[in-house]
Structure 1
Amino acid sequence: MKILAGFVLAFAIGVVCRLTDVPLPAPPVLIGAALVVAMSTGYVLVDRLVARRAASHRDLCGGPTGEQA
């Protein structure tokens, strides 16, 4: 769902930039576009990897009050 929302948002930004003649906030060459795709893919993959791991230092977290358990 996040990826679909990202594509919709990117498309909307492109349309608004085109209609208002604002330069696109993206690199104009293929290698720059590939870099953006690679960075986005890496971000999504690491986000999924980290979300599956158990928190190993949860007992050290103070929470909203700052007090440890």
Structure 2
Amino acid sequence: TKWVSGWKRNGWMTKEKSPVINQDLWQELDTQNAKHDTTWSWTKGHASHADNNRCDELATAAARSQTSSR
């Protein structure tokens, strides 16, 4: 996203000087993003967009397949 470069520059701190939430996930996304030619685009949620709906289905299925370590 547009914010990642700023967070990296600021030691993974927000402009309010608080740690970036889910920093480990953003760092992994940044690492993987650097390996690919990626274009990011915003899609309004809950708007019956076919690709967004498919991503939601996949994310929900993946989340349900995870086991808890608690």
Fold similarity call, TM over 0.5: no
Q: Give the TM-score taking structure 1 as reference length.
A: 0.29
